[in-house]
Structure 1
Amino acid sequence: MQGKHGHLSREQKQLALRLHAKGWRLVDIAKEIGCSGPMVGIMARTGRHVDAKPFGWQPRLGQLTIDEREQILLGINRGDTFTTIAEQLGRAVSTISREVKRGGGRAGYSAWHAHERAREQARRPKPFKLASGRLLDEVARRLEQLWSPQEIAARLRLDHADDTEMRVSHETIYQSLFVQGRGELRRELARCLRSGRAARKPRGTTDGRGRIPGMVMLSERPAEADDRAVPGHWEGDLILGEGSRSAV
C-alpha cells in the first residue's frame, strides 16, 4: 500500500533500492512496496525520485523494526527456517513464526505491508487484555489458588518467556479487579488480595471512619466564636459546667 495521497515514503523507496541491489525483479519489488513496476525502474536505473517524506512512525522498544522485517522477508525467500531467521535476528522463534503467520504465511509475507499493519494496530485503542482467552483462564485459575497479582505476573513471565501474549502486569490485573469490576475476575476479588479488601483505596484519600455524626470541626466554627463575645462559644464552658455540677 502506498503512502498518503499515493506517495511512497522514504522508507519504501529505500527498501525498493535495497531489494533491487539484491537482484529482485522490478515486478516483485513493486508488489512488495505497493507501487508500479515502472516507478521502481525509474528509481533504480536513473536515481530519480528517490527522496521522499519519512514514514513517520517507529515501533516501540522490543517490537520488530522494518529492518528486521526485511531480514525476515529475505530469509523466507532464501528458504531459511524460522529457527535460522530467529538466530540471525536474536529473536525468539515464536516471534518470527507469529509475524509470518499474521503476514499471510511464507507465500504471502510482505515486510512493508506487515510494517504498515503494525502501525495501524498501534494507533487503534487496545482491547482490554484480560477480556477473554487463555490469559484470562490462567489468571483466574491462579486467583482461585489465592495467588497475589504480583505473584501471577512474575510466574507468567517465567512460564511463558517466549510468548508475549501470555504476559500481563500486576497493575493490569488490579485494573480488571477494581476498575472494570466485572467479568470472570470479579468473583475472586476479595479472596485474591493480601489485604482482604474488596475495594482499592486511592492514595491521598481521607478515611471518614471514627468520626462523630454531625461533628463540627474547629476550622468550621462561626466567626463570632473567635472573639468569645457570645457565652457558650468559649472552649472552657463545658469544662466549667461539668465542674460546677460536680461541686453541687
Structure 2
Amino acid sequence: MEAQVRDYGFSPAQQDEIWRRWREGQSFSLIGRALGAPMQHARRFLYQSGGVRLAPQARSERHLSGSEREEISRGIAAGESARQLAKRLGRSPSTVSREIARNGGRDRYRAATADAAAYGRGRRPKQAKLAQRPALRVLVEVKLALCWSPEQNAGWLRRQFPGDASMQISHEAIYLSLYDPRRRQATDRSLTQRLRSGRPMRRPKLARRPTGRGIIRGMVSITDRPAEVEDRKVPGHWEGDLVMGTRPSAVATLVERTSRYTAIVALPDGIKAEQVPASHQEPPRHPAPTATNAHLGPWPGDS
C-alpha cells in the first residue's frame, strides 16, 4: 500500500527546502523559523516519513522509453531483427533482445503492455527482505530487542550464515525497515526504542548544526594546544575535565600531563561554577616517570 504523505500546508518548494535543511542537520526550530511556520508542523511533516524522504518514482534515461517500445513493436511487425532495431534506436542488441523475450516474444510483444510491466517492475520500494524471510526477521528482531545495533546484527548474520545470502541483510536495510513508512510492516517499529539513539525517526548523516545551547563560550579547541603539551615532556601542564552528577552537581578533575597526578576539585556551585579555584593549580607532588623510577608503577589517577 502506498504511504500517504500529508503536506501540513507546505508547498512542494517548501517541502524541498525542509528536506534540504534537514539533510544539512538543522533543528526543527531553525527549519520552522526559516519557513515562517510552526516548529511542530515541520516536525510532524518529517516524522510521518521517519526521516526518510519518499522520492517519487522516475524513469532512468538508461531504460527504454515508451516511444522506443513503440519502435520495437513496429520493427517486429516489419520483420526487422533485434540487431537492426538496436542499431536504429542506438541501443545494445542484447537490450532489445531481452526486452522482446521478457514480454512474450516476437509473436506477442505489445508496446503498451511492455511499458506498463516495466513501470510495475520499477516501483520502489519492493517488498522488504525481512517481510519475505520470516526466519531472518525473527533473528533480526531478537537481536534488536537485545539492544544490538543494525551493524552488529548484519555482521553476526554474515558470520553465522556465510554461504546463505537469503539469511543475510545489510544494516541499511534494517534501518529502512524500522524507519521507512513503506517498509514498516516488515518489522516491529517499536524496536527503534532499543537502538542506541532510541530516536523515532532517522537523523541525517551530517552533524547537527549548533543552535547555541550547550556551546562553551570562549572554548579553545584541544587541537590548538602547543606541541610541548602534546608530548608530555615538560611538567606543569594541567588538563581539566568536568564530571557531571545529578544536575546541577559536578566536580572538576585536574590531571598533570607529565606525572599523571590527578586532583579532584569540589565545585560548590556545580555546573554553574565560573572557574576552578586557582589554589588547586599546584605543581605535581610526584616526580615525572624516568628510567630510574619507572618501576615504582603508575601514579595516583593512572588508568
- Tell me: higher relative CO, structure 1 or 2? Use CA pairs within 8 A at least 6 residues apart: 2
Q: Which has the higher helix share?
A: 1
Larger Rg: 1
TM-score, normalized by the shorter chain, greater than 0.5:
no
User: TM-score w.r.t. structure 1 length?
Assistant: 0.36
Counting strand residues as a fraction of each chain, which structure ranks higher?
A: 2
State the TM-score, normalized to the length of structure 2. 0.30
